[in-house]
């Protein structure tokens, strides 16, 4: 398993299921990633900002996305690839 | 009416949270380390790693020798605190009396909310299901139900992982017959030796012994142990926040810190972290100590100082820490640093006369307090590490003295984990 910290801005399509937002598709550069499962959601307060982290996966890789409630920006934080 | 107390203990918690977040780690031997360094300590091992012999407290090097194929990752305190907060929020929906005992365990007083242990067991099974559905499927927990906190904790230890054990008072003897003395909280190797000297070799012998023997030979601790084994409640459920007795931060210093001359800076960082927590809790410290561990020295060097006047000011605390460091350290290789703020109280509103202060006039003291308050305001808005004092710079650049996760009892439900 290889692990990479990327911290790059991404575009995300979000759906609301039972009033909870769930990232659905990630556009990372020219790649589109269809999220298969959300494994864990956790949050962190950084001053006034509250950042939500979504640990997700598609069929091959696991990703960690972050969403800042202050800037409303999504970032791809980490990618874990099966090698 | 007999009380119904439940103890819920999350199994291999930090490792389980990591496996929950990353499906590629599931089913594998995983060690969560304090630091990813050969001498870094394992603070949690996954259930799979435990089965292969990995134990909490081993160094990374030892763990790798015991489980060669294991994976190791550095701990992520923010993630664990956030997940704990969500789990405890579910617990609070079952009862109004919940005591968070540590980051991964809690006591629930279900008296009045359930008719009997069977109903409590049913409700707690539903809680397990809610954790699985709302937080994640890879977060097992063990549940113990009994009439006291002590027995509930013993019960939760009985079946791991993912068990549920009920101890009824009239079944205590049958239950104790299957246990060893060291299966009880508070009995370690030392206490066991003391009990052997009294002719106590099994839990049942302990239960039916004369309590006066324990009171005479082991004092209050001995009596409490006897009473706890007899189903007598010795500690109340702490549902309101308590004032902590001390606030501290420690760090196993890597050699790089010595080579780069960052010892003083790392200490300043530890003081800043402790000071920030002190002000968050709106307390002031009346005493302050630092501990320095030096390479090839068995005992740590320690110095305590009374703070006159009492303070929560990071500038004063850092200046005091620098003075103590000069007394304790002569440039040897440092392996461990710790800062502890003790004798914590709510701030007194009484005006402190300038003559009582050692170094500064009253006016300059007020100015420095304003600087500290200003720093806190900026940090509250933009984050803890956005603004810091120059002496912390070197340690911060090199990511020394990072956020750590505590194992000790946490301070009541006021504990804000976000």
B234-287 pLDDT per residue, tens: 877 776 667 788 898 888 888 878 877 888 899 999 998 888 888 888 888 999
B418 vs A37, A43, A47: nearest CB:
A43
Cα→Cα distances A27→A11, A16, A24, A31, A61, Å: 5, 18, 10, 6, 15
Element (H, E) at B344: strand B334-345
Q: Cβ–Cβ of B383/A42 closer than 8 Å?
A: no
Determine the pLDDT at residue B413: 36
Q: How many CB atoms lie within 10 A of CB A63?
A: 23
Model's pTM, two decimal places?
0.83
Q: Six-digit token pair at B354?
A: 């300038």
Q: Six-digit token pair at B239?
A: 């549902």
- Predicted confidence (pLDDT) per residue in B347-363, tens digit: 877 766 666 555 555 55
Bridge partner list, A4: A79
Full pLDDT tens readout for chain A, 83 residues:
566 788 899 999 999 988 889 999 999 999 999 999 999 999 999 888 999 999 999 988 999 999 999 999 999 999 987 55
Taken as a whole, chain B contains a residue count of 418
In a mutational test of the A interface, the residue from B22, B28, B131 whose CB has the highest number of chain A CBs within 10 Å is: B22
CB B10 within 8 A of CB B163: no
In a mutational test of the B interface, the residue from A47, A63, A77 whose CB has the highest number of chain B CBs within 10 Å is: A47
Domain that holds residue A10: 4-81
Residue A30 distance to chain B (closest CA, Å): 24
Decide if A4 touches B, using CB distance below 8 A. no
Instruction: Please list, in sequence order, all residues whose beta carbon lies within 8 angstroms of the beta carbon of residue B9, skipping any fewer than 6 positions away.
Output: B104, B105, B141, B142, B143, B144, B153, B156, B157, B160
- Model ipTM value: 0.88
Determine the pLDDT at residue A82: 57
Domain count, chain A: 1
Determine the pLDDT at residue B145: 95
Residue B376 distance to chain A (closest CA, Å): 10
- Predicted confidence (pLDDT) per residue in B365-375, tens digit: 556 777 777 88
Sign of CA dihedral A74, A75, A80, A81: positive
Determine the pLDDT at residue B64: 93
Active site amino acids of B: 105
- Predicted confidence (pLDDT) per residue in B180-194, tens digit: 888 898 888 898 998
Determine the pLDDT at residue A55: 95
Instruction: Please list, in sequence order, all residues whose beta carbon lies within 8 angstroms of the beta carbon of residue B129, skipping any fewer than 6 positions away.
Output: none
Taken as a whole, chain A contains a residue count of 83
Residues of B in contact with A39 (CB under 8 A): 20-23, 136, 138
Determine the pLDDT at residue A65: 96
CB B162 within 8 A of CB B8: no
- Predicted confidence (pLDDT) per residue in B383-410, tens digit: 877 888 888 887 777 777 777 776 555 5
Which residues of B sit within 8 Å Cβ distance of A?
17, 20-25, 71, 78-79, 82-83, 86, 135-136, 138, 379-384, 386, 418
């Amino acid at each position: 398993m290889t692990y990479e910290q990327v911290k790059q801005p991404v575009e995300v399509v979000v759906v609301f299921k039972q009033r909870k937002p769930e990232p659905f598709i990630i556009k990372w550069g020219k790649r589109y990633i269809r999220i298969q499962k959300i494994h864990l959601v956790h949050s962190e307060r950084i001053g006034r900002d509250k950042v939500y982290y979504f640990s997700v996966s598609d069929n091959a890789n696991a990703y960690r996305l972050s969403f800042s409630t202050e800037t409303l920006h999504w970032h791809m934080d980490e990618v874990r690839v099966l090698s | 009416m007999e009380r119904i107390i439940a103890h819920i203990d999350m199994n291999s918690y930090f490792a389980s949270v990591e496996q929950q977040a990353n499906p590629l780690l599931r089913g594998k031997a995983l060690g969560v380390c304090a630091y990813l360094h050969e001498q870094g300590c394992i603070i949690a091992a996954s259930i799979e790693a435990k089965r292969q012999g990995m134990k909490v407290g081993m160094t990374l090097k030892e763990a790798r020798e015991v489980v060669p194929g294991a994976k190791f990752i550095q701990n992520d305190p923010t993630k664990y605190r956030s997940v704990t907060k969500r789990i405890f929020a579910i617990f609070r929906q079952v009862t109004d009396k919940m005591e968070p005992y540590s980051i991964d365990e809690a006591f629930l007083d279900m008296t009045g909310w359930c008719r009997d242990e069977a109903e409590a067991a049913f409700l707690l099974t539903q809680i397990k299901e809610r954790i699985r559905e709302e937080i994640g499927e890879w977060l097992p927990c063990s549940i113990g139900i009994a009439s006291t906190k002590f027995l509930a904790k013993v019960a939760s230890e009985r079946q791991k992982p993912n068990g549920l054990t009920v101890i009824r008072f009239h079944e205590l003897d049958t239950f104790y017959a299957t246990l060893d003395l060291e299966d009880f909280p508070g009995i370690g190797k030392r206490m066991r030796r003391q009990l052997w000297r009294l002719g106590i070799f099994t839990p049942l012998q302990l239960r039916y012994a004369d309590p006066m023997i324990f009171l005479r030979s082991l004092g209050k601790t001995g009596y409490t142990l006897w009473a706890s084994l007899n189903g007598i409640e010795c500690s109340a459920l702490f549902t309101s926040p308590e004032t902590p007795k001390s606030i501290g931060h420690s760090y196993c210093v890597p050699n790089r810190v010595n080579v780069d001359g960052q010892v003083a800076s790392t200490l300043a960082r530890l003081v800043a972290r402790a000071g920030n927590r002190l002000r968050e809790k709106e307390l002031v410290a009346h005493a302050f100590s630092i501990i320095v561990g030096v390479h090839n020295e068995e005992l740590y060097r320690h110095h305590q100082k009374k703070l006159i006047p009492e303070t929560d000011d990071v500038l004063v605390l850092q200046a005091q820490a620098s003075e103590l460091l000069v007394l304790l350290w002569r440039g040897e290789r440092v392996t461990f640093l710790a800062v502890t703020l003790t004798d914590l109280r709510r701030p007194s509103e009484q005006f402190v006369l300038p003559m009582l202060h050692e170094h500064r006039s009253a006016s300059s003291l007020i100015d420095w307090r304003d600087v500290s308050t200003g720093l806190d305001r900026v940090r509250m808005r933009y984050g803890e590490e956005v603004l810091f004092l120059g002496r912390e710079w070197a340690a911060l650049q090199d990511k020394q003295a990072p956020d750590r996760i505590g194992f000790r009892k946490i301070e009541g439900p006021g504990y804000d984990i976000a």
